[in-house]
Amino acid sequence: MGLSGRWLVAATMKKASLTGPPKGTVSPGDGNFVTMKKDTKLPLSGSGVVEIGKPLPSAMVVGGDLKPIDIGAPTGKVRIISVVPSVDTKTCEKQTHQLSEDNKGLDKQVEMITISRDLPFAQGRFAKEAKIKNVTFLSDYNMREFGEKNGLTIAPLGLLARAVIVTDKDNVVRYIQVVPELTALPDMQAAMKAAKELL
């Protein structure tokens, strides 16, 4: 399978048979780009890339208590990691609400995570105002390792690309969609289906 195929095709594991690639995705990392309103190309950058079939790269992020957390450390749970540029935009807000409210009870078995480069205080305010209690918010604002090690940094903006990642109980990446157009939503239902099939 070629390089593009590794990014576009959802891997199969013994308890998961994913139905195919997301509706639209781009490869993470240097040499690739996303668009803003379809007419502005924004290059992606990073020293590494997130890749299906490999462990999620070790990267330190910060929780609401400002303590560092290694997102690459296995937790023994299937995880849906929703990556947004900023919770203070309408598209990111909708993406986060979909993760929280449209998961059909999946949050009882799957860890729901939102990562952005917003300050943890802003993430906490957003969660409180939105009444979201079933999503863990993590920030890449400080060390910026998550974007760098996964190839998800939008270089000109210093923000994270819009993406959704599903990891299995061993923290191996089994599904990824990096949304080509920054103002568009990822296919959250496809990600949730992928996560459910890993249980």
Tell me the residue type at 45. Answer: S
Name the phi and psi angles at 79, rounded to 5. Answer: -130, 140
- What's the rounded Cα separation, in Å, for the pair 155 and 141? 14
Task: Supply the DSSP string of 79-134, one letter for each residue.
Answer: EEEEE-S-TTSHHHHHHHHHHHHSSTTGGGTSEEEEEESS-HHHHHHHHHHHT--S
- What's the rounded Cα separation, in Å, for the pair 151 and 129? 31
Name the phi and psi angles at 138, rounded to 5. Answer: -125, 145
Active site residue 105: no
Q: Which of 92, 154, 173, 176 is catalytic?
A: 92
Q: Catalytic residues, which ones?
A: 92
